[in-house]
Amino acid sequence: MISFRSTEEELAFVEVAKNLAKEKIRPQARICERNQKLNEEIVQEVQELGFLSLELSEDWDGLELPLISQVQILQGLCYGDLDVVQGLPGAGDAASFIRFLNQRLDTYKTDIVDELQTVSYLDLSEDWGTNIEVKKEMNHYILNGMSQPVKLAAQADYVLIAVMDSNGEPILFWLDSSVHPWHVEEGDYRLGLLTSGIARFTFDHVKISTDAILAQGNTAEKIIQDGRTRVRILQAAREVGLMEAALDYATEYTASRKAFGQEIAKFQGVSFRIAKMAIETRIVNHLVWEAALQADQEHPEAEGLSLRALHRAHKSLRYVTDSAVQLLGGHGYIQEFPVEKWMRDAQAQVTLYGRERQCLKKRGEQIIAGNREEVMA
């Protein structure tokens, strides 16, 4: 039965998340950005509430929530600040892969779940911009080259790498900083998501023994595909949270700001833009929910829906955050108001998580190929 009603449990989670967002995360966001580092208190609170292990399975003391619940909680948290949420330590995006590899990674559980050591997820599938070579030799692999910038690289204790080796075989590697001597490039990052440890890895002929292989072949392929689908959905959900923040902020501002003798909300040039922002935000919300529901059902179309949701999330996030700045006028551009940061974070986010046109093209090819059952309303 078509329904847009969250469960009681979800509503309770969201309320907690949103309170934390409003009372702790947003007020601290500027400071975190300046320090390029999260406030310990926030980290602790998020951890205590279980929000760092939404995606982890119960063996890993995770909440193992369905995606449809997770996305709502993430929206709530990111209503505070996207950057802060992206900077949270622990399993990060890698959680969506680790959940399929619990036993294999059991020895790291305490470090990651309790000590909040950080995992960076590095996907080497992009067709340009990365020049990392993964060469198989005898009993080991040699990893060489520099990655694109990825999240949590600066503070990573571990790196989970998804890659095709030089023979075209999919592999998932687990690199441990105490074993594998990678190097994190000193970068020059100014745009946004500055607390989230974006950096590039350099591997100088790092030798990786087969121990470090988490999965390969068909198993790896399946985990990579499912994991990527989940990451797309969870990232798109974060973007919805930021959109909601920007929409509400701009609505409130334009409702009180006066010019030409009245609240600027009364000009359709303003109010129609607010309406468009509201519509776009709602659309992305729904597309994300739809993708989450299908992924929870392990529907074969979930991958395509995750591409669709992420594409729209990126596009709308840019629109909505830009609109918020625009509607605040000069105040939108200065750091005394949050919206300029949100616009920067938004652009960094869409830059980091998949090119819009690639998402669209990939989805379109699936549609034309038509080799999947269509999810039709």
Partner 1 sequence: MISFQLSEQQKQIKEMTHWFAANEIRPIAMEADRLGKVPDEWLDKVNKMGIHLNTSSFSGGGGEESSRKSKKEREGNRMGVLATEQMAWGCPAITLSLPGAGLGGPPVQSSGTPEQKERFLSIFTKEKPRWGAYALTEPEAGSDASGVKTTATKVDGGYILNGQKIFITNGGRASWVVAFATVDSTLGRAGQRAFVVEKGTPGFSCTKLVKKMGLRANETAELLFEDCFVPDENLLGGEKLYEASSNKPSGFQVAMKTFDSTRPIVASMAIGIARAAYEYTLDLVRQEYPKGGETSALAAEMLAEVEQNIAAARLLTWEAAWKADFGLPNAKEAAMCKAYAGQMSLDVCSKCMELLGPIGLDGHLVEKLFRDVKIFDIFEGTNQIQHLVVARRQYAAYEVRV
Q: How many residues bind its own copies (CB under 8 A)?
A: 4
Supply the angle between the helices 268-296 and 67-78 in degrees, to the nearest 10.
Answer: 150
Q: How far is the CB of 43 from partner 1 (least distance, A)?
A: 23
Judged by CB, which is closer to partner 1: 24, or 363? 363
Choices 37-45, 176-184, 214-222, 328-336; region in contact with partner 1 by CB under 8 A: 328-336
Task: Report the C-alpha gap between 30 and 37 in whole angstroms.
Answer: 10
Stretch 175-204 residues interacting with partner 1 (CB under 8 A): 185, 187-191, 198, 200
Stretch 248-307 residues interacting with partner 1 (CB under 8 A): 251-252, 255-261, 263, 265-272, 274-276, 278-279, 282-283, 286-287, 289-290, 293
Report if residue 267 touches its own copies, rule: CB under 8 A.
Answer: yes
Choices 238-246, 267-275, 290-298, 329-337; region in contact with its own copies by CB under 8 A: 267-275
Report if residue 348 touches partner 1, rule: CB under 8 A.
Answer: yes
Any bridge partners for residue 119, and if so which? 158
Choices 151-159, 199-207, 266-274, 290-298; region in contact with its own copies by CB under 8 A: 266-274
**DSSP secondary-structure letter at 265?**
G
Q: Which does 62 bind (CB under 5 to 8 A by kind): its own copies, partner 1, none?
A: none
DSSP output for 53-109: SSSS-GGGT-----HHHHHHHHHHHHTT-HHHHHT--SSGGGHHHHTT-TTTTGGGH
Stretch 272-301 residues interacting with its own copies (CB under 8 A): 272
Report if residue 107 touches partner 1, rule: CB under 8 A.
Answer: no
Report if residue 160 touches partner 1, rule: CB under 8 A.
Answer: no
Stretch 162-191 residues interacting with its own copies (CB under 8 A): none
Q: Which does 232 bind (CB under 5 to 8 A by kind): its own copies, partner 1, none?
A: none
Report if residue 352 touches partner 1, rule: CB under 8 A.
Answer: yes
- Among residues 130, 81, 92, the alpha carbon closest in space to that of 344 is found at 81
| Residue 217 CA: distances (Å) to CA of 101, 125, 224 | 15, 15, 11
In the set 129, 269, 330, 370, which binds its own copies (CB under 8 A)? 269
Backbone conformation region of residue 365, classed left if phi is above 0, alpha if psi is from -120 to 50, else beta: alpha
Task: Report the C-alpha gap between 337 and 114 in whole angstroms.
Answer: 35
Q: Two tokens at 75?
A: 């929206």
Choices 3-11, 19-27, 90-98, 236-244; region in contact with partner 1 by CB under 8 A: 3-11
- Among residues 59, 158, 151, 58, the alpha carbon closest in space to that of 116 is found at 158
Q: Two tokens at 93?
A: 């995006």
Q: Give the residues lining the site for its own copies (CB under 8 A).
A: 267-269, 272
